[in-house]
Structure formats: structure tokens, C-alpha cells
């Protein structure tokens, strides 16, 4: 049995304070006093979701928004331990093929539907239904063969294969619980206003403008880091879509908005001196990285992949473009993951070695512009870039990598596009290189990203193995890690898996997935420890 212990709000104050961010000082030099009520205004630079239900698709913008109105069965604390939220406990059978989950019996959805075992069953079936077109949530429960309702507060998951990461993936926002009555309305209506158990409720959505969330006055706290009894302090959240970073920053400085995400690195660096609060919440699981498509030329040749890594030289760009707010990574896992394997030597810049590798691979001819050629084909790599997901600094970094690799003969073609077109390019395999952020919880992300099964699309059409790795030894390590609950054995298996992944030269790690939030005129903004999205259950506006 997992050693869960529900944390009382008073005991959580110290932990919550570590992530809390404050506001600008008042003209009198003292700290402004927090007040009850009011409307908190949040301005996001992430893409506007096409559906507010994170079961459908399953991208990070949906996770950001839905954290305010949907809650998961489990969460994770600051030390990385799984803790109960809507669930009370979770226990795996000896063979790992069943999970018994005990549920809280004092929770209802905001439409009055009770949260119980039938609701859990309905949610898992919704995630698995091809008509839902789920990707991230679908992968979380893919191994669940059936859901047994033991009684109202007890559900049993029967799995096709053991899954030691079961509770980790059930802590993701993309597998959060929704009202069965809301789900029954159908995707179109449920996408407009999913119904959850969270501290806020979706009141309205004006596409390309904002989503209005109102306080759930009947909220029963599940987040163990809530610092008070009862509902949230603020009465309303206005969630605005403002793509331009400079415009978001100006709105923050003027007091028009209280919280912004995706600020410019220079604005992050200057935040403290300007009196803004700063919440730094790097995402867990995978690092931000460039992946090379090993299934098609030119990166189906290991020598060409290694040449690209040796020529890319992203470190100087990361240092300057991110103004010290991002640290170079040499691991496919986030620095938040204790089992990450880092190998700096593998990514040491060496243009001479890159040129020698390309010569050996037969790319010896040159065009007038210096691009290498072989058998009449140029050394071209298409690189679709999601302008909704890649910040301006990251796009500039890609341009530097483009120039660095061009110096040894690559024609790296950056193709900026919106999120929908980007997903389409990946689905059609119209890429040789891509930066595809993927957020989940724990090192099982390696299986999602690099197991050969992940070259097959989920019902949404999305596949996570963008490098198109199909290595039986890698698959075996990842499957063993999924099956064992022994932490030391899991760590060893994940280390061996990472060694294989790094040695393919198919991945160029860059830095942790960045999550920075600046605040003004508000205190008590924290981030949940699963996917590092902000929560406003403790937030209070200040005078």
C-alpha cells in the first residue's frame, strides 16, 4: 500500500510559502494588505485551446486553464512523492495487474453530481473512447482493460500489463476528473465548459479574447497545500489571451493584469528590481529538446545525426538569449527528475568532427551556398516550429542553431506555423527535426517518448515518439521499468534506457521546459507540483 497521509492545511503553509509570489510594494514602502474578493486577471501567451476539456487532445494550454476547475485523483508534493487529492489511497496487487483506489466520499462536482467510483469509471472510459480524440490522457490509461466499481468509494483498475507509474499518470491534469453528466452532453458542449470539482467554474468563453471563471463557493479542498478553509479568496478569474509578450508585460506593469506567463527573459531578470513577483516552476519529466527523425533521410544515418549534434552549439545562445533564466541541459529528462542521466561530453561542439562525419557519410559535394550534397540531393532538414509553443527567445535560438549547422553544410529549414498546422506536419511526418515539448509526471515519460509503440498514433492522431526510435533493447528496459515497483530497480532501468537514447544521437537536449510567471498586485500564487501549472486557490488581491 502506498503510504499516503492527508496533509492538513496548517501543515502545508511552509511548503506553500516556498512557491508563493507577492506583489509590488506600496508607495508607502510597506507591504500591501491582501483583500478578499475581486477579479484576478491572468494574461497568457500560450495558444488558446480549441477545447477547454483536457481529455480532448491534451496539450499544455489546456492544462494551464483546467487546473482552475478540474482536479486529479492524485497529486505530487514538493519532494516528488505522490499524494492523494480526490483519492484517499492507491494500492497495486503483487502482480501489478490491478490497482485498488479508495476515494473521498465528501466531494461533488459543481453540477451536484457526486464524485464516486462510477464517476471515475466514466472518466477513464471517456479518455479511452476514440471519439474523445485524447492523446496525453489516453496514454495515461491505455493499459486499463476494465474499471470495476467495488462500491461508491472504491474503484479497481484491471490492467493489461503492470504499470508502476499508474498513480503518477493519474496525477496529470489531462486525466483529471469531470462530471459524468457533463461528459454525457457530448464533446461539443463539454469543450465549452467542462464541469469539475475545482475551486473555480467555467462561466463563459469568448474565443480569441478570454475565459471567465467564477468561484466555486461550495469548494471542498483537495489540494493539500491550501492555506485556508473553504473556497478561494478571489471571486472571479478573467483569463485573457494576449499572444504578444511585450503587450502582456505592459499590461502587468500598468496593473491591468495581475499574472502573466511566458515573459521575456529580460523581463524575468528585471522582475525583482521592478517590484514584480516571480514564480519559477520548471516542468517535470522531459527536458526541452530537439529530436531528429531517424526514420527518414538524412537523419536515418547515425553519422549525420552525430554531426548535427556536434555542430549545433546551443550553449552560447541559451546563455545570452535567455538572460540567465535557463540552464543548458545534457539530459532527456528534466532536472526535476532524480533519475536523470546527464552526459555533457556527448554534446561537445566540434565542427571538425562534424565535417569528418559528414564526409564519411558521403555528403561531400557542395552547392554554391555551401550546402552539402549527395547523389544529387541536398543535406536538407525541415524543422516545423510552433509559434504558439516556442517563445521568441527559443525561436532565436533555433535560428542560431540553423546558422551553426549551416557552417558544416546542413540546410536546416525553419518553418514557423500555428499549433494546428504544427500538429498536422508531425502527423504527416513532414519533418526531419522538431522541438516537441511533452509534459507529464515522472520518468515514465521515456516510455511515452521513445518506446517503439509510440510511433503509432493515439486516437487523436498524435504520436509522441518524434525521433521514431524502434530499439528492442530500449523497449525492454522501458517495459521492465513500467512493471517493477522497486524504486532502486526502476532507477537503474531508466538509467540504462537513457544511455541507449543518448547514444542514438537522435536527441539534442536544450534546457528544462520553462515555466515563468510574473505577478503584480496579488499574493499567494503557487504552482502544483505535477505539471507546474499555477493555481489560484490561495491567491489574494492586494490594495
* Residuewise pLDDT in 10s, the chain (543 residues): 333 333 333 333 333 333 444 443 333 335 688 999 999 999 999 989 999 999 999 999 999 999 999 999 999 998 889 999 999 999 999 999 999 999 999 999 999 999 999 999 999 999 999 999 999 999 999 999 999 999 999 999 999 999 999 999 999 999 999 999 999 999 999 999 999 999 999 999 999 999 999 999 999 999 999 999 999 999 999 999 999 999 999 999 999 999 999 999 999 999 989 999 999 999 999 999 999 999 999 999 999 999 999 999 999 999 999 999 999 999 999 998 999 999 999 999 999 999 999 999 999 999 999 999 999 999 999 999 999 889 999 999 999 999 999 999 999 999 999 988 999 999 999 999 999 888 889 999 999 999 999 999 877 777 899 999 999 999 999 999 999 988 899 999 999 999 999 999 999 999 999 899 999 999 999 999 999 999 999 999 996
Cα angle value 252/262/75 (rounded, 5°): 110
CB 234 within 8 A of CB 540: yes
Q: Output the DSSP codes for 399-412.
A: HHHHHHHHTTT-EE
Cα angle value 85/65/449 (rounded, 5°): 75
CB 542 within 8 A of CB 25: no
Angstrom distances, CA of residue 285 to CA of 288, 428, 531: 10, 26, 9
Q: Which helix (H) or strand (E) holds 397?
A: helix 392-406
Instruction: Please give the sequence-ordered ranges of beta strands (E in DSSP) within 281-361, or none if there are none.
Output: 287-292
CB 52 within 8 A of CB 65: yes
Which pairs from 357-362 meet CB under 8 Å and 24+ separation?
Answer: 357/303, 357/304, 357/306, 357/307, 357/310, 358/303, 358/304, 358/307, 358/408, 358/409, 360/303, 361/301, 361/303, 361/304, 361/307
First to last CA, the chain: 47
**Predicted model pTM:** 0.86
Domains of the chain: 18-45+199-281+515-543 (3.40.190.10), 54-62+70-185 (3.90.76.10), 287-512 (3.10.105.10)
Angstrom distances, CA of residue 314 to CA of 248, 321, 329, 420, 483: 28, 10, 10, 27, 37
Q: Which pLDDT score is estimated for 31?
A: 67
Q: Which pLDDT score is estimated for 543?
A: 67
Four-CA torsion 331, 337, 341, 343, nearest 10 degrees = 40
Cell of 243: 499572444
Residue that is written with C-alpha cell 557519410 in the block? 361
Q: Which pLDDT score is estimated for 186?
A: 96
Q: Which pLDDT score is estimated for 485?
A: 82
Cell of 195: 464541469
Cell of 142: 491505455
* Residues β-bridged to residue 204: 212
Amino acid at each position: 500500500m502506498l503510504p499516503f497521509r492527508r496533509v492538513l492545511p496548517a501543515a502545508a503553509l511552509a511548503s506553500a510559502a516556498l512557491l508563493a509570489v507577492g506583489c509590488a510594494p506600496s508607495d508607502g514602502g510597506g507591504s500591501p494588505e491582501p483583500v478578499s474578493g475581486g477579479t484576478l486577471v491572468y494574461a497568457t501567451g500560450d495558444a488558446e485551446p480549441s477545447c477547454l476539456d483536457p481529455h480532448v487532445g491534451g496539450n499544455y494550454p489546456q492544462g494551464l486553464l483546467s487546473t482552475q476547475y478540474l482536479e486529479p485523483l492524485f497529486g505530487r508534493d514538493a519532494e516528488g512523492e505522490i499524494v492523494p487529492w480526490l483519492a484517499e489511497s492507491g494500492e497495486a496487487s503483487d502482480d501489478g495487474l490491478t490497482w485498488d483506489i479508495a476515494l473521498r466520499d465528501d466531494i461533488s462536482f459543481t453540477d451536484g453530481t457526486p464524485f464516486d467510483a462510477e464517476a471515475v469509471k466514466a472518466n477513464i472510459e471517456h479518455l479511452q473512447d476514440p471519439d474523445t480524440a485524447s492523446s496525453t490522457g489516453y496514454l495515461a490509461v491505455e493499459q486499463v482493460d476494465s474499471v470495476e466499481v467495488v462500491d461508491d468509494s472504491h474503484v479497481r483498475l484491471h490492467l493489461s500489463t503492470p504499470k508502476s507509474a499508474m498513480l503518477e499518470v493519474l496525477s496529470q491534469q489531462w486525466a483529471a476528473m469531470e462530471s459524468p453528466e457533463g461528459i454525457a452532453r457530448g464533446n461539443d458542449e463539454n469543450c465549452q465548459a467542462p464541469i469539475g470539482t475545482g475551486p473555480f467554474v467555467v462561466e463563459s468563453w469568448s474565443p480569441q479574447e478570454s475565459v471567465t471563471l467564477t468561484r466555486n463557493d461550495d469548494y471542498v479542498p483537495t489540494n493539500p497545500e491550501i492555506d485556508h478553509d473553504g473556497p478561494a479568496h478571489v471571486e472571479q478569474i478573467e483569463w485573457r489571451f494576449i499572444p504578444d509578450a511585450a503587450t502582456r508585460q505592459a499590461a502587468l506593469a500598468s496593473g491591468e493584469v495581475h499574472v502573466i506567463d511566458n515573459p521575456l527573459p529580460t523581463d524575468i531578470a528585471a522582475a525583482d528590481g521592478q517590484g514584480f513577483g516571480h514564480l519559477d516552476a520548471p516542468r517535470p519529466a522531459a527536458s526541452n529538446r530537439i529530436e531528429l527523425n531517424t526514420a527518414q533521410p538524412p537523419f536515418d544515418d547515425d553519422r549525420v545525426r552525430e554531426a548535427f549534434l556536434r555542430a549545433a552549439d546551443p550553449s552560447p545562445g541559451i546563455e545570452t538569449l535567455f538572460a540567465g533564466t535557463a540552464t543548458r541541459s545534457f539530459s532527456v529528462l528534466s532536472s526535476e527528475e532524480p533519475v536523470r542521466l546527464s552526459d555533457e561530453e556527448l554534446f561537445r561542439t566540434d565542427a571538425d568532427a562534424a565535417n569528418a562525419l559528414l564526409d564519411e557519410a558521403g555528403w561531400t559535394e557542395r552547392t554554391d551556398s555551401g550546402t552539402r550534397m549527395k547523389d544529387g540531393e541536398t543535406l536538407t532538414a525541415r524543422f516545423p516550429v510552433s509559434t504558439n509553443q516556442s517563445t521568441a527567445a527559443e525561436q532565436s535560438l533555433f535560428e542560431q542553431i540553423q546558422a551553426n549547422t549551416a557552417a558544416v553544410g546542413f540546410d536546416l529549414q525553419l518553418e514557423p506555423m500555428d499549433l494546428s498546422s504544427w500538429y498536422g506536419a508531425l502527423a504527416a511526418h513532414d519533418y526531419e527535426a522538431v522541438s516537441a515539448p511533452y509534459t507529464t509526471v515522472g520518468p515514465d515519460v521515456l516510455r511515452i517518448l521513445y518506446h517503439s509503440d509510440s510511433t503509432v498514433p493515439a486516437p487523436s492522431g498524435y504520436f509522441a515518439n518524434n525521433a521514431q526510435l524502434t530499439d528492442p533493447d530500449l523497449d525492454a528496459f522501458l517495459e521492465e521499468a513500467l512493471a517493477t515497483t522497486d524504486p532502486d530497480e526502476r532507477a537503474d532501468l531508466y538509467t540504462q534506457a537513457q544511455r541507449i537514447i543518448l547514444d542514438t544521437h537522435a536527441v539534442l537536449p536544450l534546457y528544462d521546459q520553462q515555466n515563468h510567471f510574473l505577478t503584480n498586485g496579488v499574493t499567494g500564487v503557487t504552482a502544483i507540483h505535477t505539471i507546474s501549472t499555477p493555481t489560484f486557490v490561495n491567491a489574494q488581491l492586494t490594495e
